[in-house]
Copies of this chain bind each other. A is one copy, B any other.
Amino acid sequence: MSNPSPSPAPQVSPRIVVTEADFDLGAEAARLEAGSDTGAVVTFTGRVRDVSGGLRRMTIEHYPGMTEKALRTIAEEAAERWPLSGVTIVHRHGALSPGDRIMMVGTASRHRDAAFAAASFLMDYLKSRAPFWKKEETADGMGWVAAREADEAALDRWRDRDAD
Contacts and interface: CB of A to CB of B under 8 A. Distances in A.
Nearest to A27: B26
Contacts of A61: none
Count the copies.
2
Contacts of A110: 49
A18 interface: no
Given A2-B54, A4-B52, A54-B2, A40 B47 contact: yes
A96 interface: no
B116 A112 contact: no
B36 A41 contact: no
A49 B43 contact: no
A3 B40 CA distance: 41
22 contacts: A2-B53, A2-B139, A4-B52, A25-B25, A25-B29, A26-B27, A26-B29, A29-B45, A33-B45, A33-B99, A36-B99, A37-B49, A38-B47, A38-B49, A40-B45, A41-B47, A42-B119, A43-B45, A44-B116, A49-B110, A116-B119, A116-B120
